[in-house]
Structure 1
Amino acid sequence: MPIVTIQQFPRELAQKRELARRITDAFREVYGVSEQSVQVFFHEVDGENWAKAGVMGSEPSNGKDAS
């Protein structure tokens, strides 16, 4: 049973739905598993709970949108 965990900044539900569909399709095609066996977990982290190079993601100079 494939389990995929995605850590990311918050995204729209439609984007997550599409990504989950594509990931599920890839596992079906490559591993030959049923779509019911594929699980995708989205762990969304806002800028107050993430830092890069010692700078919090909520700070404008961090450039989180470029990541």
Structure 2
Amino acid sequence: MNALSIFLGIVGVPQVVLVVVILLLLFGGKKIPELMKGLGSGIKEFKNAAKEEENKDSKKDDSTTKE
């Protein structure tokens, strides 16, 4: 068994509910949407940067095969 399957095996619905409750207690209901919006924009930015890097690599590969 790899580490990821072991980790995912111990995370279930009760654990997720517990994390959500703790987040609500720590940050309150008004702050959670702001945090999720920031998290979403961060993930979107990461994906765009990864795509950009992938495109750079594929263009680099194309230029080396043409030589």
- The structure whose RCO (Cα within 8 Å, separation 6+) is larger is 1
Give the TM-score normalised by structure 2. 0.33
Select the structure of larger CA radius of gyration.
2
Question: TM-score, length-normalised on structure 1?
Answer: 0.33
Structure with greater proportional strand content: 1
